[in-house]
Every structure is written in structure tokens, then in C-alpha cells.
Amino acid sequence: MRAYTAGDIDVPLLEETIGQNFERMVAAFPLHDALLEAAAVPGEEARRWSYSKMNDDVDRLARALLAMGMAVGDRIGIWSPNCAEWTLLQYATAKIGVILVNINPAYRSHELTFVARHNGMRMLVVAPSEPKSDYVAMARAALAECTELRDLVFLPDHGAEGLTAGDPVVAAEQTYAELLRRADDVGHSALQVRLAGLDPHHPINIQYTSGTTGFPKGATLTHHNILNNGFSIGELLGYTAQDRVVLPVPFYHCFGMVIGNLAALSHGAATIIPSRGFTPAAALEAVQDFGGTSLYGVPTMFIAELALADFASYDLSTLRTGVMAGSLCPIEVMKQVITDMNMADVAICYGMTETSPVSLMTRAGDSLDQRTQTVGRTMPHLESRIVDPATGVVLDRGDIGELCTRGYSVMTGYWDQPDKTAEAIDPEGWMHTGDLARMDVDGYVVIEGRIKDMVIRGGENIYPREIEEFLYTHPDIQDVQVVGVPDARYGETLLACVILAPGAAVMDLAALQEFCRDTLAHYKIPRLLEIRTEFPMTVSGKIRKVALREEAVARLGL
């Protein structure tokens, strides 16, 4: 049986723009909550938008951008941690056909300038500076270096010091409040004319993917790509206008803006921002305070929430579902989320930025094993297959090879990099993910790791995931990553990097090996152990395995 499946097609794809879809929801649920942001500073009020109020504010921003002369296809960058203005800008740009460029808040000057130049960004919306990131100064530096970048807009600061109206000294700078005042120069009909003339198959978003080598690449996505992906995810999670979706995941990444915002807001549900950056306590507080029905996170976020000393004191009784995604989702963590966090219907999503992102997902009716041990099956209207990475031949069910995705969700390409696009998407339209996977007889897929993370020890292929899954069952291990490091005799050997559970006794290599002895084949037993307090992470919460390996190699002098 070939490792190929196609998703259901019973619910038709949406043929509308993001703006049209949103206006339908506004008409259907004007007074429902759309967007809630927990107070950033104790004592402040949460900020709240109903669908109708959000639409008013989106339109005001959209008209202000029209007043600035923004044309269809122009690029506006957003460089900020999560905040309500992020969502408002996402919808305002979509309504006027401007391409929103998501910029990773962890970027520094050099990367910002690269990205702004690369897509000829016209305007950059900038977060207030923070102790660990002087956004304003770095944005000003980019402005000086990028000829096409003409406008900086500074977002308001909540409580703390920041730029206020009147501060900017340069003509190219304005505050968000000043930008909004320009809306008075453009009538509502001009906005409606622009909205009605947009094509859902035109690009609306560029998301830069880190890549492993060289400069970031700009995955270019249309309304059709991301609206349909978000909508499908919402359908499979059973979202209705009663749902309240708590989003500790970053908006600059598709996890926040598509799996989060688009999935919820295409169903009349509410989106909830617990904090600007992730903190486990803020996420659980938001569930409790706003009656969250759905909670998202990469695995490390759920691990941190479950590990809170006062975890049991949070009222999580309103939760029913959520999404875990972004990297391998440990089976033990999934089980705890289901039982201890009340998330009976939690789903695993698998995907990548280049495919909008989600291409595989578990379903509510799946067995516990399918929902915890696989990343589910192919999403509606998409196709998946597993190929031999060397020959491209489609493999049999059960065999490990490269996972490929085809269908409406595949990006139009990397911005201005046709050569890189051709390396990723083959002539038949298959996006090559770079992930190793196998498909079972029922079409459920298990991710075995990245092609580049596979360890080859003395000729044996080792998939670190298998060992990590086993080590997670050790009561003293809170989190673990297994990487291959150079070894004179075997080429590569296994290093286990362990974060101990709170209160756990010290663990040495001999004890760890003893734990593995009867369960893992000898060549899969780690030969090195490192106890750590944290892992190097990306801002989207993914563990940087390459960095982890490099650090260890340097420290161990290998």
C-alpha cells in the first residue's frame, strides 16, 4: 500500500478574501467578543473588542493606511511581540490588499534590515522598546539603510515609558495614534471599493522562515492559502461562536496568526492574548480569567505550564480543546494535557510556514493512541505522501522517508527567490518538508524527526525522537533532547540533554543508561549526558537543536 493519502473534500474551500470572511462574521456576531488582551500591568483593565468594535477599528486603520497611499501589493512590516494592534493590523492590511510582513521580534538590526530590503518594505510598525530589545533604535537604523522604507509607526506603550504623540522628530516617523487620525481623510466608500476589488489568490502575507543556512526566506502566502487553512483547523476543532481561544503562541509565526487568529475569527470565536511574550502563569491565568475553551502551545509551553508549582490552583475547567504543534509532541505530555488540563479534544497539528502551515492534524474522534502518537491524517483538500529522499519514489506504508504536501495551502513561493522555491516545491507541486515520517495503514503519520537531525552511529540510523519519547517516561526528567555529536569510533554518538523535574535527585550517566538497558537497543542508549536548566529556544518556542549540539560539541571539546 503506497504512502499516499488525500484529505476529505466534503466542506468546500472558501473563495473569498480575509476581509470578506471577517465582514460576514461581523454581520453574524456583532456583539460577540472577538479580541481580548489581558492587562500588561497589574491593576490595568483588560482590553476588549467585540466583532463590531474590532471591525470599526480595523476599518479606521485600513482607511489611515489608504490615506498614506498604500497600494495593493505594497509591503508593511510588523515587528512586535503579541498585542491587540498586531491582530488589527493583520485584518486592516488584508482588507486593503497590502502584504503584511511578519518580523520575528527576536531579530536584531542586521536581520531586520535584511528583511526590510529584501521585500522592499514601505512601512514598518514597531513595538515600544523593551529592556532586552531596543526596537525603536533598530527600526531607525533600518530606516536609514533601506531606501524603500519610508514610514515608521510606533505602537503605543501600556503604562511604561515610551514614545508619545509629538515625540517623533523625523517626518518619516509617527505614532500609531497619529496614523489613525489620518483615517479622517478617507471615506468609508473608498475602503469598500478597495475591498471589493481584491483577489483571494493574491499574496497577503510574507513570513520569514529561519532556514538552517544563509539568510531567511520569505514564504509568500495568499488570502486563499491562510484563510482556508485557518478555517479548516477551526472546523476540525469544532469551533463555534461560543469558543474562547487562548493564544500564548507568537503572532509573527503562523501558529498565532493562522492557527490562532484566522481559525477563531472565521468561526465567530474570541481570541485571547494572555501576554506579550510567553509566560506559563499568564497563559493559565488567561484561561481562568476569560473562560478559555481552547489553549495553544508548542510542547515546551505545555511542559512549563504543567510544571508550575501552583499548577493545581488554576481553574481550567472551561477548557475542552486546543492545539499542540511546532515540534515533536511527546506522548506523555499529550496525555497530561488531556487529563490534567481538561483538554479532552486537544489536537496535534503538523505543518510548516510554507504550507500555511497545517497539513496534517489529529481529529477529535481518533483513538487515544492516534491522538498522542501520531500527527494525525491529511487535512481537507490536501494530499500527503512519503518519498525516498534520495530517489523521490513513493514509499510503502510503514517505511520512513521524506514527507511531502500538495494542495491549496502550498505557498506561492519564496519572495524573489525562484531558485529556492524550485528546490522546495517540485514541478508536480509537492512541497518537500525536510521531515522524516512514516504513514500507517489508516493514513496516520508519525514524524521521526528532521532529515538533518537523524543520527548515524556506526552505520545504524537513529531517530532521536524514539529515545526522547522513552526518556520522557522517567519520573525525574522534565524535558529531554537527544542529539548526535561527533565520535572518533562511530562517526556520531548520542548525547542526552536533560532538564530534571523540580525536586528530582541528581542523575548520572550510569543511572540513565541503566534505565534504558532493557528497553532500548544498545546502540540507541545515550553515551553522554548533560544536565541543563534550559534549552536554546527560538522565540516561537522551538528548541534549537543545532545550537544545542554546537554548544555541547564546544563544551565537551569534541
Q: How near is the Cβ of 73 to ligand AMP at its closest, in Å? A: 24
Residues near 151 by beta carbon (within 8 Å), at least 6 away in sequence: 68, 122, 123, 124, 172, 173, 174
Q: How near is the Cβ of 126 to ligand AMP at its closest, in Å? A: 23
Q: Is 450 in the site for ligand AMP (CB under 6 A)?
A: yes
Which one of residues 327, 342, 378, 405 is an interface residue with ligand AMP (CB under 6 A)? 327
Which one of residues 300, 362, 433, 493 is an interface residue with ligand AMP (CB under 6 A)? 433
Q: Which residues pair with 126 in a beta bridge?
A: 79, 154
Cβ-based nearer residue to ligand AMP, 172 or 446: 446
Q: Mark the segment that binds ligand AMP (CB under 6 A) among 5-13, 196-204, 324-332, 407-415.
A: 324-332
Q: Which residue has the cell 536581520?
A: 111
Cβ-based nearer residue to ligand AMP, 91 or 350: 350
Which one of residues 435, 448, 468, 530 is an interface residue with ligand AMP (CB under 6 A)? 435
Q: Mark the segment that binds ligand AMP (CB under 6 A) among 77-85, 141-149, 332-340, 431-439.
A: 431-439
Query: At CA 456, angle to CA 509 and CA 518, rounded to 5?
Result: 45
Cβ-based nearer residue to ligand AMP, 106 or 177: 106
CA-based radius of gyration for the chain: 23
Which one of residues 128, 200, 357, 484 is an interface residue with ligand AMP (CB under 6 A)? 357
Residue pair 106/538 in contact by the 8 Å Cβ criterion: yes
Query: At CA 373, angle to CA 371 and CA 378, rounded to 5?
Result: 60
Cβ-based nearer residue to ligand AMP, 243 or 435: 435
Which one of residues 90, 209, 321, 374 is an interface residue with ligand AMP (CB under 6 A)? 209
Residues near 461 by beta carbon (within 8 Å), at least 6 away in sequence: 454, 455
Which one of residues 348, 395, 400, 425 is an interface residue with ligand AMP (CB under 6 A)? 348
Cβ-based nearer residue to ligand AMP, 200 or 256: 256
471 three-state secondary structure: helix
Binding to ligand AMP (CB under 6 A): which residues in 21-80?
none
Whether cis (ω within 30° of 0) applies to the bond prior to 357 is yes
Helix orientation angle between 509-516 and 464-471, rounded to the nearest 10 degrees: 100
Say how many residues touch ligand AMP, by CB under 6 A: 18
Q: Is 375 in the site for ligand AMP (CB under 6 A)?
A: yes
At 28, list the grid cell.
Answer: 453574524
At 523, list the grid cell.
Answer: 546502540
Closest CA to 357 of 254, 472, 470: 254
**How far is the CA of 78 from the CAs of 106, 230, 451, in angstroms?**
13, 20, 32
Buried b (16+ CB within 10 A) or exposed e, 146-163: beebebbbbbeeeeeebb
At 326, list the grid cell.
Answer: 511546532
71 burial type by CB count under 10 A (0-12 exposed, 13-18 middle, 19+ buried)? exposed
Cβ-based nearer residue to ligand AMP, 284 or 324: 324
Residue pair 103/208 in contact by the 8 Å Cβ criterion: yes
Q: How near is the Cβ of 424 to ligand AMP at its closest, in Å? A: 11
Residues 450, 430: Cα–Cα separation, whole Å: 18
Cβ-based nearer residue to ligand AMP, 348 or 425: 348
Residues 194, 73: Cα–Cα separation, whole Å: 12
464 three-state secondary structure: helix
User: In this structure, which amino acid lies at residue 201?
Assistant: H
At 256, list the grid cell.
Answer: 498565532
Q: Mark the segment that binds ligand AMP (CB under 6 A) among 52-60, 159-167, 345-353, 523-531.
A: 345-353
Q: How near is the Cβ of 11 to ligand AMP at its closest, in Å? A: 23
Q: How near is the Cβ of 376 to ligand AMP at its closest, in Å? A: 9
Q: Is 352 in the site for ligand AMP (CB under 6 A)?
A: yes
Cβ-based nearer residue to ligand AMP, 337 or 352: 352
At 112, list the grid cell.
Answer: 531586520
Cβ-based nearer residue to ligand AMP, 81 or 250: 250
Q: How near is the Cβ of 162 to ligand AMP at its closest, in Å? A: 30
Q: Is 326 in the site for ligand AMP (CB under 6 A)?
A: yes
Q: Which residue has the cell 475547567?
A: 317
Q: How near is the Cβ of 164 to ligand AMP at its closest, in Å? A: 36
Residue pair 256/233 in contact by the 8 Å Cβ criterion: no
Q: How near is the Cβ of 308 to ligand AMP at its closest, in Å? A: 23
Q: How near is the Cβ of 353 to ligand AMP at its closest, in Å? A: 3
190 three-state secondary structure: helix
Q: Is 421 in the site for ligand AMP (CB under 6 A)?
A: no
Residue pair 37/247 in contact by the 8 Å Cβ criterion: no
Which one of residues 20, 222, 225, 353 is an interface residue with ligand AMP (CB under 6 A)? 353
Cβ-based nearer residue to ligand AMP, 156 or 434: 434
Q: Mark the segment that binds ligand AMP (CB under 6 A) among 102-110, 149-157, 332-340, 346-354.
A: 346-354
Residues 387, 390: Cα–Cα separation, whole Å: 8
Written in H, E and C, the secondary structure of 371-434 is HHHCCCEECCCEEEEEECCCCCCECECCCCEEEEEEECCCCCEECCCHHHHHHHECCCCCEEEE
Q: Is 329 in the site for ligand AMP (CB under 6 A)?
A: yes
Q: Is 325 in the site for ligand AMP (CB under 6 A)?
A: yes
Give the contact letters, 243-282, x = binds to ligand AMP (CB under 6 A), - = no: ----------------------------------------
Which one of residues 36, 447, 462, 543 is an interface residue with ligand AMP (CB under 6 A)? 447
Binding site for ligand AMP (CB under 6 A): 209, 325-329, 348, 350-353, 357, 375, 433-435, 447, 450
